[in-house]
Amino acid sequence: MSVMTSAHIVRQRLRRVPLSVIVVSIILAVIVLLAVFAPLVAPFDPNKQTLLARLKEPGFSYRGMTYWLGTDDLGRDLLSRTLYGARVSLGVACLSVVVSTIVGVSLGMVAGWFRGWTETIIMRLVDIMMSIPAILLAVLTVAVLGPGFMKLVLVLGLTRWPRYTRIAYAQTLQVSNLPFIKASELAGAGAIRILLHHVLPNIAGPILIVVTAEFGLMILMESGLSFLGLGIQPPSASWGSIMSTGRQYIERAWWIVAVPGFGLFLLVFSVNVLGDWLRDQLDPRSRSR
Amino acid sequence: MINYAVQRFIQAIIAIVGVLTIVFVVMHLSGDPTLLLVPQDASAEMIAELRSQLGFDRPIYVQYLDYIYGLTHLDFGMSVVQRVPALDIVASRLPYTIQLAAGALLVAIGVGIPAGIIMATMRGSVIERILTAIVVTGQSVPTFLSGILLIFVFGVTLRWLPTSGAGELSAMIMPSIALGALSMSTFARMTRIAIIDELSKDYVRAGRARGLSLGQVVFRHVLRNASIPVITIAALEIGNLLAGAVIIETVFAWPGIGQLAIQSIQSRDFLVVQVIVLLISFVYVLTSVLADLVYVFVDPRIRLVR
């Protein structure tokens, strides 16, 4: 794998972006905007209960207000809750990816640069972390620590860093033998400076591939944990927790599951399509198709 | 070969000790594990009594050594709620989860590998595009969502299949599909990549030059070579399926260890949760060792390199 991957190749290839990628990018942008501006867009207070409007179908009107996507078991507007839920899903996913990228990439670069016992310890720890299925470790840790937004971010971030470490480590090993890095080392640059200014920019491409793949996975993990009742706690809306309620009312009110479920699917699908395309652009091996 | 196997087993043992340590650390993250094991309204005396009874008032390294010592004697502690060994509770639920994971693996391999073969050999065709769309979709639907959708369509609307429980064989169909969908996508992708990799090699061109059809080359030669990366995936997927059972068993009220894990968290029976996490991690480590050994067995080239 050559090191001049990123910049040049990306610029060349961005001119031929397939339609599907453009479409999912737009979907992604719309979801992000809706989430960010949820307080402005949402027609109702997401936690306002209207007991006379419980489990009503999409389009139901009550006192001159229309519930476009129906209501849940407590008469709360599903559209508003789903919009607010998007904030939780995206927020947790973004922050936890940031946490695991910072932790994982720094450890990987350190292991690849210093070698020796540092390398042995870090990479052994990676092997060990990767032998516990992430969802299980997350379930156990959240159950021990108790629920909460920041705890969820930390738990997800700190269970998933080994993926980044593996990539950052392998890439750093390759890059660190290149002439310009040897040159700056001889010129007296310190390890931190070399890693941040010379190594990091050159290993960013492969890391970006991991970031997109992990982002979709984090959204799934957050919604899974919330579905199990271990993530975001009521009354706050999260797609997972809304769907967990919906599971109980599936026979009478399918829309409680369908609305956040469709949102979740659209979000993860878009991220995955985008990630696949990105990988094809940056990874010469899989570009064969 | 034997050297390599021994080496690999030593690595596995290190990994398992590491897993035990991480689980121990996590259990102590809250500061005092006693609080995890008592009802929320427990009195201070009750907590203190249980703390000394379980030995949580001793120095942390004594607790750690005691914990490891216990585990080597298959002593996983007693369930605080049910007053029986935690291992027994888990063992009684395990057969259900094995059943479910086997069903899911069947779905994943049975659909995923043929799909991957088709996607690799019929590139550019309409069928490939449709399959690609299905694979990406399978990857993007969380297991609990596909589970609920299946329940809605085949359980509630059509009334063809039972929506929960584990009585007859028909109750296994929906949970297996929901659990296997994600792995199915993984198998399809890996098979596709493995075959495409192989198709670009000289022996394929040679085979075609001898007048063999693409299908003949694929079935006689390519599949065997492409099977190696797929075997590794299969091993890793077994662990993933067991972990995924935590969610899918909750959706379908399937009485396996996944449902048990969530129930035990709710009833604050953390030693049971600990057994489940350890058990699944052991399976994860062992299957990856086995995969590596099979790998070497199938492909003698790897032996020479090491």
Interchain CB distance below 8 Å, A125 and B19: no
The confidence score (pLDDT) of residue B92 equals 92
Looking at per-residue pLDDT, the higher value among B2 and A269 belongs to A269
Report the number of secondary-structure helices (H) and strands (E) in chain B.
14, 0
* pLDDT band for position B301 (cuts 50, 70, 90): low
Arithmetic mean of pLDDT over chain B: 85
Burial status of residue B41 (CB atoms within 10 A of its CB: 0-12, 13-18, 19 or more): exposed
The confidence score (pLDDT) of residue A284 equals 57
- φ, ψ of residue A18 in degrees (nearest 5): -70, 155
Nearest alpha-carbon partner for A210 in A271, A265, A262: A271
Kindly identify which residue of chain B lies nearest to residue A132, measuring between CA atoms. B281
Q: Which two tokens stand for residue A148?
A: 């909460």
Contact (CB, 8 A) for B259 and B164: no
Helix (H) or strand (E) holding A67: strand A65-67
- What is the least distance, in Å, from the CA of B297 to any CA of chain A? 23
Interchain CB distance below 8 Å, A132 and B246: no
Asked if pLDDT for residue B30 goes beyond 80, the answer is: no
CB atoms within 10 A of CB B1: 11
* pLDDT band for position B303 (cuts 50, 70, 90): low
CA–CA gap between residue B197 and residue B195 (Å, rounded): 5
The arithmetic mean of pLDDT across residues B162-171, rounded, is: 76
Asked if pLDDT for residue B39 goes beyond 80, the answer is: no
The arithmetic mean of pLDDT across residues A26-54, rounded, is: 85
Interchain CB distance below 8 Å, B23 and A229: no
> pTM of the prediction?
0.85
- φ, ψ of residue B69 in degrees (nearest 5): -60, -45
Interchain CB distance below 8 Å, B137 and A143: no
Contact (CB, 8 A) for A95 and A156: no
Nearest alpha-carbon partner for B137 in A70, A268, A67: A268
* pLDDT band for position A1 (cuts 50, 70, 90): very low
The arithmetic mean of pLDDT across residues B92-110, rounded, is: 93
* pLDDT band for position A279 (cuts 50, 70, 90): confident
Asked if pLDDT for residue B302 goes beyond 80, the answer is: no
ipTM over 0.90: no
CB atoms within 10 A of CB A168: 29
- Out of B29, B136, B266, closest to residue A272 by CB: B136
Nearest alpha-carbon partner for B139 in B186, B175, B192: B186
Q: Tell me the pLDDT tens digit for each residue of A141-187.
A: 888 888 888 889 999 999 999 999 999 999 999 888 888 888 888 88
Kindly identify which residue of chain B lies nearest to residue A286, measuring between CA atoms. B193
CA–CA gap between residue A224 and residue A230 (Å, rounded): 9
Angle at B117 between CA B226 and CA B191, to 5 degrees: 45
Q: Tell me the pLDDT tens digit for each residue of B15-24.
A: 888 989 998 8
According to DSSP, the residues that pair with A61 across neighbouring strands are A66
Of A22-26, A99-103, B68-72, B111-115, minimum mean pLDDT range = B68-72
Angle between the N-to-C axes of helices B223-252 and B143-150, in degrees from 0 to 180, rounded to the nearest 10? 70
Q: In A, residues 53-72, which contact B (CB 8 Å cutoff)?
A: none
Contacts A288 to B, Cβ<8 Å: 196, 200
Interchain CB distance below 8 Å, A257 and B148: yes
Amino acid at A34: L
Q: In A, residues 195-224, which contact B (CB 8 Å cutoff)?
A: 216, 220, 223-224
Nearest alpha-carbon partner for A238 in A99, A72, A67: A72
Q: Tell me the pLDDT tens digit for each residue of B270-297.
A: 888 889 999 999 988 888 888 888 877 7
The confidence score (pLDDT) of residue A169 equals 93
Q: Tell me the pLDDT tens digit for each residue of B142-164.
A: 888 888 888 888 888 888 888 77
- Out of B123, B143, B156, closest to residue A251 by CB: B156
- What is the least distance, in Å, from the CA of B193 to any CA of chain A? 8
Nearest alpha-carbon partner for A6 in A171, A165, A170: A171
Angle at B117 between CA B116 and CA B121, to 5 degrees: 120
Q: Does A161 touch chain B (CB under 8 A)?
A: no
The arithmetic mean of pLDDT across residues B246-263, rounded, is: 90
Q: Which two tokens stand for residue A208?
A: 């970006």
Looking at per-residue pLDDT, the higher value among B113 and B2 belongs to B113
Structural domains in chain B, sorted by start: 87-266 (1.10.3720.10)
The confidence score (pLDDT) of residue A288 equals 43
Q: Does A280 touch chain B (CB under 8 A)?
A: no
Polymer length in residues for chain A: 289
Q: In A, residues 231-250, which contact B (CB 8 Å cutoff)?
A: 240, 243, 246-247, 250
The confidence score (pLDDT) of residue B46 equals 81
- φ, ψ of residue B271 in degrees (nearest 5): -65, -35
The confidence score (pLDDT) of residue A14 equals 63
Burial status of residue B245 (CB atoms within 10 A of its CB: 0-12, 13-18, 19 or more): buried
Structural domains in chain A, sorted by start: 24-288 (1.10.3720.10)
Interchain CB distance below 8 Å, B247 and A228: yes
Contact (CB, 8 A) for A223 and A239: yes
- φ, ψ of residue A67 in degrees (nearest 5): -95, 95
**Among B26, B34, B143, B248, which would you mutate to test the A interface (most chain A Cβ atoms within 10 Å of its Cβ)?**
B26
Arithmetic mean of pLDDT over chain A: 85
- Out of A144, A146, A224, closest to residue B142 by CB: A224
Q: Tell me the pLDDT tens digit for each residue of A180-192.
A: 888 888 888 888 8
Q: Which two tokens stand for residue B223?
A: 């599949």
- φ, ψ of residue B268 in degrees (nearest 5): 55, 45
Q: Which two tokens stand for residue A128?
A: 């060990």
The arithmetic mean of pLDDT across residues A76-95, rounded, is: 90
Non-local CB neighbours of A182 within 8 Å, separated by 6+ positions: none
CA–CA gap between residue A14 and residue A93 (Å, rounded): 26
Asked if pLDDT for residue A110 goes beyond 70, the answer is: yes
Kindly identify which residue of chain A lies nearest to residue B259, measuring between CA atoms. A228
Q: Is the peptide bond before A235 cis (omega within 30 degrees of 0)?
A: yes
* CA A145 from centroid of its chain's CA atoms: 21
* pLDDT band for position B141 (cuts 50, 70, 90): confident
**b/e map B226-236, b = 16+ CB within 10 Å:** bbbbbbbbbbb
- φ, ψ of residue B237 in degrees (nearest 5): -65, -30
CA–CA gap between residue B165 and residue B151 (Å, rounded): 12
